[in-house]
Amino acid sequence: MALKASEVKVGDVFSCVLVEDLKRTQIVQYAGASGDYNPLHTDEIFTKEVAGYPSVFAHGMLTMGMTARLLTDTVGDGRLTRYGVRFTAQVWPGDDLSAKATVTAVQDVDGVAIAEFDVETTNQDGAVVLSGSAAARLDP
Amino acid sequence: MAVDRFPVEYSHIMMFARSVGDPNPIYHDPEAAKATEPGAVIAPPTFVQSSAQFDPDYVLRPKIGAPWFGSGKNPTGVAPGSGGGGNGGGLHAEQHYEYHRHPQAGDVLTATVKPGESWEKQGRRGGKLLFQETITEYRDQNGELVVTARGIGVRTERPATSEA
């Protein structure tokens, strides 16, 4: 079911919990599916002893992929026209992540209703780990 | 990453959707997908990133018979300064997608890459940050543009003591 332009207004907020206590295994699962096998995400020994980080950390693209679920669940399957983010802080194993999408515009573009969103994902400490925007085609 | 042939396959979509924690049936149930507006299994919004699987030269995948910089007997599998992947390469700063349509299982895409802008910034803890933009165009079997991706990577110049 797609979102209807008549049922949404600027300032509306959609949110959901993306993950609680992010597991290293999920990061490995994303590495395998995406093909990004960078040891910084999957190899604790390399990451601590060679790269000098406190532990492995999630691919930014895993956070972007998890956050996409809020958008597609909100606007409907196949409705996104644009989705872009900045990765603003690292995501670590054990993190809890929540995403929020705020409607910033609902407009008619050449006869098609388009909604624009600000998108933000935060961790358990309230730190923003991903910040961006998206647009989607709505039903009238 | 330039890719000559990126077959968008049902089981790859299923595994990708699982890994990002998305249980939406449109990503794993062809029967349920028929009843949706797209009418078929489609790719999740960030799926095209997994075209890396089909890039023969992708540096962040171990190659059969070649050295790999992750740990084995030692914390890294390459000698320091040998150029075998160093400290894991740069980090991903931004990613942007424009969807002309959403890829479906059965599509066969190509990816062509062109460099975008590059710039430098001074890091907060000293050292230069080097940014590079890359634009990737994904086209389908009919040559139609499907997704335009714009990524920005950042490399940090760190003290030599902390590098591989």
Report CA Rg, chain A. Answer: 17
Are the Cβ atoms of B164 and A51 closer than 8 angstroms? yes
CATH number for the domain that contains residue B150: 3.10.129.10
φ and ψ at residue B40, rounded to 5 degrees: -160, 165
Structural domains for chain A: 5-137 (3.10.129.10)
Where residue B84 falls among pLDDT bands split at 50, 70, 90? very low
Residue in chain A nearest B71 by alpha carbon: A46
pLDDT of B89 reads: 59
CA distance A98 to A139: 27
SS3 breakdown of chain A: % helix, strand, coil, rounded to 5? 30, 35, 35
pLDDT of A30 reads: 98
Are the Cβ atoms of B44 and A68 closer than 8 angstroms? yes
pLDDT average, residue stretch A24-29: 98
Ranking A41-45, B54-58, B124-128, B146-150 by mean pLDDT, the lowest is: B124-128
Are the Cβ atoms of A64 and B26 closer than 8 angstroms? no
Mean pLDDT in chain B?
Answer: 89
Is A26 strand, coil or helix? Answer: helix
This model of the complex carries an ipTM of 0.97
Number of domains into which chain B is organized: 1
Question: Domain range for residue B37?
Answer: 3-162
Where residue B158 falls among pLDDT bands split at 50, 70, 90? low
Mean pLDDT in chain A?
Answer: 97
* Chain B contact probe: residue of A18, A23, A38, A75 with most B CBs at under 10 A: A38
Are the Cβ atoms of B36 and A78 closer than 8 angstroms? yes
pLDDT of B40 reads: 97
The DSSP symbol for A7 reads: G
CA distance B80 to B59: 17
Helices B10-19, A60-75: inter-axial angle, 10-degree rounding: 100
Query: Which of B20, B88, B94 has its CB closest to that of A65?
Result: B20
pLDDT of B138 reads: 98
Q: Which residue has the higher pLDDT, B88 or A91?
A: A91
**CB of B100 closer than 8 Å to CB of B36:** no
Res B48 pLDDT > 50? yes
Residues of B in contact with A50 (CB under 8 A): 69, 71, 75-76, 87, 164
Give A100-120 pLDDT, tens digit per residue: 999 999 999 999 999 999 999
pLDDT of B2 reads: 87
Helix (H) or strand (E) holding A45: helix A44-45
pLDDT of B83 reads: 46
**CB of A65 closer than 8 Å to CB of A8:** no
Query: Which of B26, B52, B162 has its CB closest to that of A35?
Result: B52
CA distance B74 to A45: 9
